[in-house]
Amino acid sequence: MDTLMDIIRRRKSIRRYQNRPLTKDMVNSILEAARHAPSARNLQPLEYKVITNRELMLKLSDGIARAMQAEGIPMKAPPAGRPDFFYGAPLLIIVTAPKDNPFAVSDAALAVQNVMLYATSIGLGSCFIGMAKLIERDKDLLKLLHIPDTMNIVAAVICGYPDEDPPPKEKRLKAEFFE
Ligand SMILES: Cc1cc2nc3c(=O)[nH]c(=O)nc-3n(C[C@H](O)[C@H](O)[C@H](O)COP(=O)(O)O)c2cc1C
């Protein structure tokens, strides 16, 4: 049986997915992993937009592309032209939190790490999608996602059956010991 350390070591960002949906049970257990993450002062401020609709994902991806263009952020476009910042994944989870919560980004990172490790443990790939923050630039997209003015996008993650097996990244450790 895999130890937690095996799963931590095996997790890697996956950017190609099989065209295969996740079951409702899988999605629910992924959310269960997120739910159990700690939060500052136990405020549990996070809310999740659970997106399995590919059309909506592509709309959001187009919004990210427009925001990047507006800001002059260089983009690696796939050969077909329309960039998909969610890499064809069957599940996108956008994490939101109240704007006035100073620890929300840390809370969200912990929840997403739970998601990614749990996804790894059940044979799924995953990837943190920081670019999803740019969805905030488009008020219509925020409306579409029912994100009110009081909330920020604090993280996003995709999950799905991997369709690639990239070599793992070298992981450095910079640690100073005071004994
Ligand atoms: C805060 C954060 C934001 C990220 N945003 C993106 C993103 O928008 N798109 C993407 O393809 N990967 C994104 N990544 C994935 C990183 O590129 C990836 O974790 C890194 O290259 C290390 O590779 P590994 O995850 O395989 O260990 C993000 C990762 C983190 C932690």
What's the CATH code of the domain at 57? 3.40.109.10
98 found inside a domain: yes
102 found inside a domain: yes
Model confidence band, residue 54 (pLDDT cutoffs 50, 70, 90): very high
Residues with CB under 6 A from ligand 1: 12-13, 15, 127-131, 169
Nearest protein CA to atom 20 of ligand 1, as residue: 13
The best mutation among 110, 128, 131, 135 to test binding of ligand 1, ranked by most ligand atoms within 8 Å of the C-beta, falls on 128
pLDDT tens digit sequence for 147-164: 999 999 999 999 999 999
122 found inside a domain: yes
Please give the tally of structural domains in the chain: 1
What's the predicted TM-score (pTM) here? 0.97
Q: Is it the case that residue 1 has pLDDT exceeding 80? A: yes
The sheet carrying 125-128 orders its strands as 47-51, 91-98, 151-160, 125-128
114 found inside a domain: yes
Maximum CA extent, the chain: 55
For range 95-122, the mean pLDDT: 98
What lies within 8 Å, CB to CB, of 162 at 6+ separation is: 14, 16, 17, 18, 124, 125
Confirm if 103 and 54 have CB atoms less than 8 A apart.
no
143 found inside a domain: yes
Three-class SS of residue 152?
strand
The residue segments making up the domain with residue 98 are 17-73+83-160
Confirm if 141 and 101 have CB atoms less than 8 A apart.
no
CA distance linking residue 16 with residue 108, whole number of Å:
24
166 found inside a domain: no
